[in-house]
Amino acid sequence: MNITKQQIDELNAVVKVAISKEDYQEKVDNILKDYRKQANIPGFRKGQVPIGLIKKQYGKAVLVDEVNKLLQDNLNKYLTEEKLDVLGNPLPKQQDNFNWDNEVLDFEFELGLAPNFDVKLKSKKAITQYKIVADKKMIDEQVERIQKQYGKLVSKTEIGTKDEVTGVFKNEDEEIENKTTIELDKVKSKKAINALVGKKTGETVTLNTKGLFKEDYLLIGSLGIDREKAEKLNIDVIFTIEEINERQPAELDQELFDKLFGKDNVKSEKELKDKIKEDSEKQFEQQSDQKLLNDVTEKLIEDTKFELPAEFLTKWIQVSGENLLTDDQAKEEYDKSEKGLRYQLIEGKIIKDNDLQVQLDELKEFAKGFIKSQMAQYGHLDPKEEELENVANRVLGNQDEVKRLSEQLMSQKLLDLFKEKANLKVKEVSYDNFVKEVYG
């Protein structure tokens, strides 16, 4: 067998493979002999079918199969040994006069080659790195929510402006009948508030659904209807009052602090607010990090210029899926995927240049951290190391999970690298301002 490469240009090449009979004939003959031993053909005893008949029936199929195996194995080996960085897969060139009976079988494959380029992490224009801070308003609101959540309900006979009212919404024409609890401080309509305040259990109130609540989702839950119906709804509903309660806020005392954070971990209102601030900003960091990763990615794609073997890749996309695409479909798919392909190449270059690797021991520690945070969401705040180790071993026994966690860990390594080497300017913002700037 002889394999040679013809360089067309920097991004395209053709590999020629010449296979002679001596490369495959012995293997083909052995397979046909095995076929002869097993063949059941009328008129012949098993194992006594003439080899000529076996070759006539199966010879071409066996030859094609063995040559294709040789091609695949040796072409992959050649690409590895020659350290050719190919995009997609080699594409066989159409040969109109090909003859499987030739003494030497010649094959040609088109290659699309990855471009050579450099990546500069430090851009001329600084990229904004948001630091989201929990401001006083947010912290105070969170304290108020905690006090409300852990407070106690006191039964009342008459509705006040901040009470919780349980009752049934009803409209026969729209087939609405749903028992729910509403909080008056979440009602938007002043007319509705005025109609409710002062009412007693057993009484009914007619309310209009349009603009009833401050948040749209509250109407969906209160009436027991779907989102699509709620968006258009402008009807009167009868609300029958069954129960009235005032939620008295919990005291900010040691009993509440221990319930929230464990015994003696927080000992004062100031420490509570400091803890809320710390936890909130830790959660915000995930959002600001994702924003930074997206912005650096976009900047790298914009600043890192290189050509791609577009014609080859379009042709490869055309034939590589389950169904053959038309020229226009393949071009459209290439245009959609080009940006992603560019970043894959850029990311691979960054990983190689900075020797970023995922080691098994650090992957296990990363998995433990992920597992610990998941446990914390369900109230398990202090798992033992042995417990984390056992869960991590089970998780890492699943190859899909290994792949997913490895990608997350590499993404974290890239983020740390960008924070260290990219041209960043830190901007402190409240969460509300972050949302306005980033999402409009």
Domain ranges of the chain: 2-113, 152-248, 267-439
Sign of CA dihedral 54, 55, 57, 59: positive
pLDDT of amino acid 381: 63
Domain 2-113 homologous superfamily, CATH: Trigger factor ribosome-binding domain (3.30.70.1050)
DSSP symbols for 170-184: EETTTTEEEEEEEEG
Q: Which of 304, 329, 303 is nearest to 318 (CA)?
A: 329
Nearest Cα to Cα of residue 103 among 24, 20, 17: 20
- The structure's pTM equals 0.74
The confidence score (pLDDT) of residue 338 equals 96
CATH, domain 152-248, list 3.10.50.30, 3.40.190.10, 3.40.50.300, 3.30.390.50? 3.10.50.30
List Cβ neighbours of 213 (8 Å cut-off, separation of 6 or more).
Answer: 182, 186, 187, 188, 219, 222
Cβ of 327: how many Cβ atoms within 10 Å?
Answer: 10
d(CA 300, CA 351): 14
Q: Does this chain's domain 2-113 share its CATH topology with 267-439?
A: no
pLDDT at 238: 97
Q: What is the pLDDT of residues 43-67, one digit of tens each?
A: 787 778 888 888 888 899 999 999 9
Task: Sort strands 164-171 and 152-156 into parallel, antiparallel or unpaired.
Answer: unpaired
SS3 call for 113: strand
Closest listed residue to residue 118, CA positions, set 354, 425, 292, 295: 354
Residue 132 CA to residue 428 CA, distance in Å, equals: 6
Q: Residue 426: helix, strand or coil by DSSP?
A: strand
pLDDT at 261: 85
Q: In the chain, which residues have pLDDT < 70? A: 379, 381
Query: b or e along 262-288 (b: 16 or more beta carbons within 10 Å of the residue's beta carbon)?
Result: eeeebeeeeebbebbbeebeeebeeeb
d(CA 239, CA 167): 6
Q: Which residues contact 266 (CB under 8 A, 6 or more apart)?
A: 257, 260, 272, 275
Task: Output the CATH code of domain 267-439.
Answer: 1.10.3120
Question: 92 pairs with which residues across the strands?
Answer: 109
pLDDT digits (tens, 9 = 90+) for 255-269: 999 988 888 889 999
**Residue 284 CB contacts under 8 Å (≥ 6 apart), including other chains:** 132, 133, 134, 431, 434
Q: Which residues contact 32 (CB under 8 A, 6 or more apart)?
A: 51, 54, 55, 58, 59, 62
Closest CA to 11 of 74, 84, 71: 84
pLDDT score, position 31: 92
Please state, as a whole number, how many other Cβ atoms lie within 10 Å of the Cβ of residue 8. 14
pLDDT of residue 382: 73
292 in Cβ contact with 127 (< 8 Å):
yes
Phi, psi of 119 (to 5 degrees): -115, 125
Contact (CB, 8 A) for 112 and 14? no
Can you give the pLDDT at residue 372? 86
What burial class does residue 403 get, using C-beta atoms within 10 Å of its C-beta: 0-12 exposed, 13-18 middle, 19+ buried? Answer: exposed
Contacts of 356 (CB under 8 A, 6+ apart): 350, 410, 413, 414, 417
Ramachandran category for residue 71: left, alpha or beta (phi over 0 → left; psi -120 to 50 → alpha): alpha
Which residue intervals of 197-268 are DSSP H helices? 216-223, 227-232, 254-261
